[in-house]
Amino acid sequence: MITDLESTPAGLPWVGVAMRVLRAAASGQSSLADAEAASRLKRKRDQILFGLASAIVSQSAEGTRSQLCSDLVGALDWEECDELLSDLFLSPLDYVQIEAVHDAALLRLHTAGKITHDPFPSCEVASRVLREFETSDAYLRAIAAFRDDELLLGTPRRVDVKGLLKNIVLSLNELSDLEALTLAFDTYISFLMERETPTDLDELLEICAGVGNQRRLRIRSTILSAHAIFALNGSQGGITQAITYLVDASQHIPPDYDDQDLLCQEARMLARTDSKLLALLGPCGQVPPPPEGNVPLMVTGRLLVIGGIGGFKRRGLEAIKTAYPAIDCEWLDADEAGRVDQVRALISRGERNVLLYTWVLSHSAEGVARSAAENANTKWDRVRMPGLAGVIDHIPSILRSTS
C-alpha cells in the first residue's frame, strides 16, 4: 500500500488513495503500521496518513488519533478536505472489530475547527464543505469567521457572499439550534442592509417572510421588514407603509410572544409627533400603563450609538432624548462609522460606552468600535433587538440606572 501511494499515477486523486489506506487500516491490515517505511515518504501529509493508519491498526487511544486527524486536516487544502469528508460519508470506515474511536467523526470535528483559522479560497468551496456537516458547529464557526472578516480569501463577489450567507441560514433552519439560526439570520440581514439596494431589500423581505416567520424570529423579522418597507418606498410614503405594517402585524401575533410589545413601540417611535402618522396607530396608540409598583428608571451617562442609516439616526436621537433626558448621547450612522479617527476620538476622549446597531454596520466598523472601547476601558454591547425600540430597551443595561 505504501508503494501504491508513492507511485500514484498522474491524475489519480490523493484523497482516493488515502481512503484506500484508511479502509485497509480499519480492516486490520497490520502491514500499514510499518513506521520505518512511512518515515521514508517525502510529503508530510503522507507521513501523517500512515501514522493515522498505524494508530487505527493498533487501536491507539482517542487522544493520539485525534491529534493525527487534526494534523492530517491541517496538511490538506479545502478541496481535499471536502473530498475526504464526502468519501467518508458515502463509504464509512468498516472496522474489523467493535471500535470505540470513530476516526471519521474526528476528521469531521477537526475540519470544522479549521474554519476558524484557515480562510476558504472561494464561496463555492465554503458552501461545498459546509454541506458536509449535519450539526450547527461548523456553521457557527463560519459565521464567526465572517464577522471577523476571516472566512474568505481575497475580495469575493458580493453576490457570491450573499448566496453563501443565505445558504447558511437555510441550512440552519433545518437544524434545531435556534441560537445559531438567530446569529446567522442577523448576520445575513446586516449584510443585506449595508447598501439597502432594492434587490437586497426585496431579499430581506423574502427571508423574513420565510425563515423569519418562525416564533423565535418573528418579532425581529417584522421590525426589520418594516424598516425595509420604509427604505424601499421613500421617506414619505415609506414611513406610512411601515407604520401600517407594524400595526397590522401587532394584531396578528399572539400576545404570549416574547417582545411582542416592541411592534407597537416601534410604530409609535416612527410616528413621533406627526398628527397624520399618529392617526395610523389605532390600537398601538394606546400606551399600556406601567406595572403596579413599577418605578421609572433614571438612566444617566455618556453613550455612543453606532450603526443605522441617517433617517434612523435622527429618529433614534429624538427617541433617546424623550426616554432618557439625562443621557449625553452621540450617534454615528453606518457611513460615519467608517471614519476611524472620529470613532476612536469619540470613545476615548468622551469616555462613552458604546452600543452597536449591527443590522446596518459593516464588520470592519464594528471591529474598530469594539477595539476602541476596550482600549478606553469602557463598556460596549450589541443591540439585542432591531429597530428604535430595540435601542431604547437596551440602553439601561449599558449605562447607570437608578430607580
What's the pLDDT tens digit per position in 312-322? 888 899 999 99
- pLDDT grade for 3, boundaries at 50, 70 and 90: very low
For residues 139-165, give the mean pLDDT.
93
The pLDDT, as a whole number, for residue 33 is 43
Q: Hey, what long-range contacts does 139-145 have (CB within 8 A, 24 or more apart)?
A: 139/168, 139/171, 139/172, 139/180, 139/184, 140/177, 140/180, 140/183, 141/112, 141/113, 141/115, 141/116, 142/115, 142/168, 143/168, 143/180, 143/183, 143/184, 143/187, 144/116, 145/115, 145/116, 145/119
pTM for the whole structure:
0.85
The pLDDT, as a whole number, for residue 211 is 93
In 3D space, the residue among 130, 20, 127, 16 whose CA is nearest the CA of residue 80 turns out to be 16
What's the pLDDT tens digit per position in 153-210? 998 999 999 999 999 999 999 987 889 999 999 999 989 988 778 999 999 999 999 9
In 3D space, the residue among 62, 29, 67, 61 whose CA is nearest the CA of residue 48 turns out to be 67
What's the pLDDT tens digit per position in 91-127? 999 888 777 789 999 999 999 999 999 999 999 999 9
Q: Is the pLDDT of residue 2 over 50?
A: no
Q: Within a 10 A sphere around the Cβ of 248, how many other Cβ atoms?
A: 14
In whole angstroms, what is the distance from residue 126 CA to residue 320 CA? 42
What's the pLDDT tens digit per position in 256-295? 888 888 999 999 999 988 999 999 999 999 887 766 655 5
Q: Within a 10 A sphere around the Cβ of 149, how many other Cβ atoms?
A: 12
Mean pLDDT of the chain: 87
| 89 dihedral zone (left: phi>0; alpha: psi -120 to 50; beta) | alpha
Percent of the chain with pLDDT strictly greater than 90: 57
Percent of the chain with pLDDT strictly greater than 70: 91
